[in-house]
């Protein structure tokens, strides 16, 4: 999903959270991507992963100048990209649209609750992140939050267009704070998943309040599960659901 508009503004602009990207771009790599996921700890709904690639151009921007021009410069939103949990919902939605418009490319992946139950959340998480990374057509290096997602034995992977490509990666502790690419992926994934839970699944299962908690284990959600039993999109391998013997709510077909 390309959306690069950076060539429209050639003002010299310095960014603090591109240390890892800048080092890799300096080695001659162009498609350095960040990946992140949202929904790992939810009791219901899919896990969503996203990959984002930025242009090496942003390494040349003078961010001190950008701060003074923030009101007038269309690229000033780059200064606000950070871990999605630290951004308000309204600003996340705005940033997600801007990131998608200006990045080189992005790719979003869903892993269903059924697949999470089958694989286990850890393996499902890695699978989603790998699939998102390989969705970027020319991926060369992957920046990932905290842990490795690729096998140390296998150095080539099949891309979305069925090419075998070499992959290297850098796991970064607190990556969504230290890498603009990972942070961008976290914002897009969060906005996408929240919208999915509110606009697709809440109308199907309104009794659970997915429009309020988007599947997380809040008091409201736990009370609804206790009252109505789990529905089709609940993760049956997660406590307390796996210990329940109540009714399985499947009155609607998930499209």
CATH number at residue 113: 3.30.420.10
The residue segments making up the domain with residue 126 are: 6-196
Residue 180 lies in a domain: yes
pLDDT in tens, 116-170: 999 999 999 999 999 999 999 888 999 999 888 886 655 666 666 666 666 789 9
Is residue 12 scored above 50 in pLDDT? no
Is residue 32 scored above 50 in pLDDT? yes
Same domain, 26 and 114: yes
Count up the domains in the chain and report the number: 2
Same domain, 156 and 66: yes
User: Tokens 């010299």 — which residue?
Assistant: 12
Same domain, 54 and 171: yes
For residue 9, the model assigns a pLDDT of: 41
* Six token digits for residue 9: 């503004």
For residue 138, the model assigns a pLDDT of: 85
Find the range with the poorest average confidence among 12-16, 17-21, 83-87, 208-212: 12-16
Same domain, 75 and 191: yes
Is residue 205 scored above 90 in pLDDT? yes
| Percent of residues, the chain, with pLDDT higher than 70 | 78
- The answer to whether 47 and 121 have CB atoms below 8 angstroms apart is yes
Same domain, 173 and 232: no
Same domain, 29 and 132: yes
26 or 254, greater pLDDT: 26
Same domain, 133 and 207: no
Task: State how far the Cα of 254 lies from the Cα of 203, in Å rounded to an integer.
Answer: 11
Q: Which residues pair with 170 in a beta bridge?
A: 143
Q: What DSSP element (H or E) covers 170?
A: strand 168-172
Same domain, 159 and 120: yes
* Six token digits for residue 206: 């309104």
Over 110-121, what HEC string results?
EECHHHHHHHCH
Is residue 16 scored above 60 in pLDDT? no
Same domain, 122 and 239: no
- Mean pLDDT in the chain? 85
Same domain, 65 and 139: yes
Task: State how far the Cα of 172 lies from the Cα of 29, in Å rounded to an integer.
Answer: 18
For residue 70, the model assigns a pLDDT of: 56
């Amino acid at each position: 999903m390309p959306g690069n508009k950076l060539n429209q503004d050639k003002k010299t602009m310095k960014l603090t959270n591109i240390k890892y990207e800048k080092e890799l771009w300096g080695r001659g790599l162009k498609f350095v991507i960040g990946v992140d996921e949202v929904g790992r700890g939810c009791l219901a709904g899919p896990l969503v992963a996203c990959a984002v690639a930025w242009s090496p151009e942003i390494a040349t921007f003078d961010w001190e100048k950008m701060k003074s021009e923030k009101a007038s410069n269309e690229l000033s939103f780059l200064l606000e990209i950070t871990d999605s949990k630290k951004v308000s919902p309204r600003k996340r939605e705005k940033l997600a649209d801007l990131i998608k418009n200006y990045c080189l490319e992005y790719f979003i992946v869903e892993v269903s609750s059924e697949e999470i139950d089958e694989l286990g959340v850890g393996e499902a998480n890695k699978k989603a992140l790998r699939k998102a990374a390989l969705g970027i057509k020319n991926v060369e290096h992957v920046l990932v939050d905290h842990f490795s997602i690729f096998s140390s034995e296998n150095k080539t992977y099949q891309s979305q267009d069925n090419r075998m490509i070499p992959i290297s990666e850098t796991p970064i502790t607190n990556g969504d704070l230290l890498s603009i690419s990972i942070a961008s992926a976290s914002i897009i994934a969060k906005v996408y998943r929240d919208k999915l839970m509110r606009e697709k699944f809440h109308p199907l299962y309104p009794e659970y309040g997915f429009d309020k908690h988007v599947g997380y284990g809040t008091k409201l959600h736990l009370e609804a599960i206790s009252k109505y039993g789990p529905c089709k999109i609940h993760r049956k391998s997660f406590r307390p659901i796996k210990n329940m013997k109540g009714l399985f709510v499947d009155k609607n077909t998930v499209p």
